[in-house]
Structure 1
Amino acid sequence: MKASKAVYRPLGLALGALSGVAAGALFRRTWELMGHDDDAPDALDQDRGWREVLLTAALQGAIFAAVRAAVDRGGAVAVRRLTGTWPG
């Protein structure tokens, strides 16, 4: 196993947890900025329509994916700076 992979593995786990927390906070803030005072609907919320539930899920998924990609990429760049090789 390359040194960069060994360094990145525990860092990647920590960054994964951190990205989930950050993405959740960013989604909640985005939801508030969109003018919603209540919680975002989920699939089992019977008082919300299909359109609202699916659009909310798509927005949440996009935010989570973007934050995760940014955090993963930043971690890989940091490992490359420490070890001189890309952790892939």
Structure 2
Amino acid sequence: MNNKAAKLAYRPFGLVSGIVGGLVAGAIFKQVWRRVSDADDAPDALQAEYRWREVLLAAALQGAVYAVVKAAVDRGGAKAFERWTGEWPGN
């Protein structure tokens, strides 16, 4: 399998793992937010009852969690794909 074919074959796998990763990241963020604040849900930018600091902190934390989970899922998925096919899906 050439690199172009590997990339094409990896697409459905990458799409599914991305969706699962997003769900996992959301669950992790929710648990982390509960531990760092007294609230069950993180503040939304359009909720007037929260201060700027709270909204921006929640957004930064959520972004960090999503980025770490995405990197872990992408890397793990690529390694699994390589084990199954012998080809690395990137590059």
Same fold at TM > 0.5: yes
Q: Structure 2: any 5+ residue segments left out of the alignment?
A: none
**CA shift digits 1:16-63 (9 cap, x unpaired):** 100110000000011112242331101101000111100110000000
State the identity as a percent: 58
RMSD: 1.3
For 1:34 and 1:8, the matched residues in 2 are separated by 37
Check conservation: 2:30, 2:40, Cα contact below 8 A. no
Size of the aligned set, in residue pairs, is 88
1:47-62 alignment, distance < 5 Å: 47-62=49-64
1:78 to 77, 80, 88: 80
Match of 2:69 in 1: 67
Match of 1:87 among 83, 86, 89: 89
Match of 1:21 in 2: 23
Q: Which has the higher contact order (CA 8 A, sep 6+)?
A: 1
**1:42 and 2:41 matched:** no
Q: What is the alpha-carbon distance in structure 2 between the residues aligned to residue 13 and residue 36 of structure 1?
A: 35
Deviation at 1:76, TM superposition (A): 0.3
- Matching of residue 31 in structure 1 with residue 33 in structure 2: yes
TM-score (norm 2): 0.89
